[in-house]
Amino acid sequence: MEQMTIKTTPIEGQKPGTSGLRKPTRTFMSAHYLENYVQAIFNGIGGVAGKTLVLGGDGRFFNDRAIQVILRMAAANGVAHMIVGQGGILSTPAASNLIIQHKTDGGLILSASHNPGGIDADFGLKYNVPAGGPAPEDVTAEIFAQTTTLSEYKILEAQDVDLSTLGSSDLAGMRIEIVDPVHDWADLMETLFDFDAIRALFAGGFTFRFDAMHAVTGPYAEDVFVNRLGAPQGTVLNGTPSPDFGGGHPDPNPIWAKPLVDLVMGPDAPDFAAASDGDGDRNMILGKGLYVTPSDSLALLAANAHLAPAYKDGLAGVARSMPTSRAVDRVATAKGLDCYETPTGWKFFGNLLDAGRITICGEESAGTSSDHVREKDGLWAILLWLNILAVRKKPVLDLVRAHWAEFGRNFYARYDYEGIEAESANTLFSGLRDALPGLVGGELGGRIVETADEFSYHDPVDGSVSSAQGIRLTLSGGGRIVFRLSGTGTVGATLRVYLEEATDDPAAVDWDQTEVLAPLAALADDVAGIARITGRTAPDVIA
């Protein structure tokens, strides 16, 4: 086995986004692309000699090849111990759990989350820190800086490592430990939730369908729901992971998980249904005849978490990303909990969780989790729902309506305009920025603009400041419009417009969301000039 130092030159555009580096798969497969980025990570975290790292991914196309390259580079860079999911597979929350449980120096997760997989789709790679969460901005900035000056990388010339057999092996002095991807994470779940109560729920005939969307959670869901909790065979749909996610879009929302939504809206609806994404960190929650928005789900979980053993003493605090609806804020106010507003992206919750300031947090993009790991955890959210349903013994619809009646209701939708020209996006945002000062106190669509600003986050734990995190307008009567650009896209710019109306009117439990939000949608278009600047008269996706 020869150790080689390969000369290379910086590759443009290796800047980590909201969640690591995501690019078209063919880009990742091009000469030196993966190798450069891996070496930049190793250099950016101060070298990896003698360190222990976790490695695994969501199994998408190129996962297997990339893992072999990373192992050879890790050995050449002096890594002491690599903990690898069997077959190169780890869901994102399971990887976070292994990083924490084994007290490692962090980990590398291969995933482009909910983006499609395949040679003509997307690939991604991110580094998680020893605390288990995505690297914060100072770390990703250092990794990016390394990509711009890199002149060589180290790699071993060696045969492929057998990833199929559990146990330890040696690669040029580096210990490789292949672990079951599911086991430790599933054991952790047993410590958090009342498995007996959930088992009794299933034994009583409660029906549940989980759609793994041909992605990484299939084996996790089989183990937890069927083997450990006794749900019947057939509970897990699309449970066999495939490198291109069955040709689909592994994004658990009403558009990409439409068959499951159709099921709960039809005559054969189960009592409860849920789905997760490519790498297992997102969740979608459905009841008979009902889609529960991620923002409402976060609020309801925060209000009821004490029904699960892990959270029985209450929550330290809660947090949501800025564009997420303020439904959870209402719960925090009612329960006297601290509530934090962070920029989009899970990495911003890390400090709050580490400092013990919050227990539960979430994003409107279907990510919810707690302090049990440092990633969002799709199946965790679904298990907490099951625990709550097992205790409350009421249909999902009744629980949600009762929640709105008690805390008030926030209507919420996100409009996505995909693949717009970078130049149009810049024009739109600079126009908005210029208009902000003039908007405050003025009138918009018959309502007063109470605030209009660009969100800057001041991290209360380490004092760091993250600016330009989205433009937001709040309107009298509880309305809010937020504009931001996606940081996870791989081509063109995606404009996200977040619309929210809030009311305490008890009659609002029966109002129609589309109708309630329609005037706000028109206002958003008007104030930002979406149609005028981008030529788009309707969003590509309403989430």
Partner in contact with 466, chosen from Zn ion, ligand G1P, none, beta carbon below 5 to 8 Å by kind: none
Residue 216 CB, nearest approach to Zn ion (Å): 9
Based on the shown chain and the rule CB under 5 A, indicate whether residue 281 belongs to the binding site for Zn ion: yes
Taking the mean position of all CA atoms in its chain, how far away is CA 54? 19
CA distance 139 to 350: 13
Question: Contact, 128 vs 106, CB < 8 A?
Answer: yes
In the residue annotation, 365 being an active-site residue is answered as no
Binding part of the chain for ligand G1P, among 242-250, 363-371, 377-385, 424-432 by CB under 6 A, reads 363-371
Q: Interface with ligand G1P includes 365 (CB under 6 A)? A: yes
Contact with Zn ion (CB under 5 A): which of 104, 113, 217, 324? 113
- 279 is in the binding site of which of Zn ion, ligand G1P, none (Cβ under 5 to 8 A by kind)? Zn ion
From residue 261 to residue 280, the character string flagging contacts with Zn ion as x (rule: CB under 5 A) and all else as - is ----------------x-x-
Closest residue to Zn ion, Cβ-based? 113
The entry of Zn ion, ligand G1P, none near residue 277 (CB within 5 to 8 angstroms by kind) is Zn ion
Q: Does 417 help bind ligand G1P (rule: CB under 6 A)?
A: no
Q: Does 293 bind ligand G1P (CB under 6 A)?
A: no
Which string of DSSP letters, residue by residue, matches 504-537?
Answer: --GGGGGS-HHHHHHHHHHHHHHHHTHHHHH--S
Determine the size of the site formed for Zn ion (CB under 5 A).
5
User: Of 283, 503, 289, whose CA–CA distance to 404 is shortest?
Assistant: 503
| Upper half-sphere CA count for residue 421 (Cβ side, 13 Å) | 9
Q: Are the beta carbons of 95 and 81 closer than 8 angstroms?
A: no
Tokens of 254: 């009403």
Instruction: Kindly indicate which of the ranges 106-114, 130-138, 181-189, 259-267 contains the residues binding Zn ion, using the contact rule CB under 5 A.
Output: 106-114
CA distance 240 to 217: 9
Residue with tokens 């929302």: 253
Stretch that binds ligand G1P, among 248-256, 300-308, 341-349, 393-401 (CB under 6 A): 341-349
Q: Is residue 86 involved in binding ligand G1P (CB under 6 A)?
A: no
Helix H segments across 109-150? 137-147
**Closest CB to Zn ion among residues 96, 235:** 96
The smaller minimum CB distance to ligand G1P, of residues 297 and 488, is found at: 488
Least distance between ligand G1P and beta carbon 140 (Å):
13
Catalytic option among 96, 111, 113, 295: 113
Stretch that binds ligand G1P, among 157-165, 200-208, 472-480, 482-490 (CB under 6 A): 482-490
Would you say the C-alpha torsion 176, 39, 34, 278 has a positive or negative sign?
positive
Query: Count H helices, E strands: the chain?
Result: 17, 27
**Whose Cβ is closer to Zn ion: residue 223's or residue 281's?**
281
Which one of 11, 14, 19, 223 is in contact with ligand G1P (CB under 6 A)?
A: 19
**What tokens were used for 192?**
């958090």
Distance CA 181, CA 84 (A): 8
**Span interacting with Zn ion, options 105-113, 382-390, 459-467, 479-487, rule CB under 5 A:** 105-113
Helices (H), 305-349: 327-335
Asked if 375 is part of the footprint of Zn ion (rule: CB under 5 A), the reply reads no
Q: What is the DSSP string of 8-49?
A: ----TT---BTTBEEEEHHHHHSTTHHHHHHHHHHHHTT--T
Q: How far, in Å, are 35, 145, 208, 277, 505 from residue 265 at the CA level?
A: 47, 50, 14, 21, 26
Instruction: Establish if 18 lies at the interface with ligand G1P (CB under 6 A).
Output: yes
Active-site annotation, residues = 113
Q: Which residues bind Zn ion (CB under 5 A)?
A: 113, 277, 279, 281-282
Binding residues for ligand G1P, rule: CB under 6 A, are: 18-19, 113, 321, 344-346, 363, 365, 367, 486-488, 496
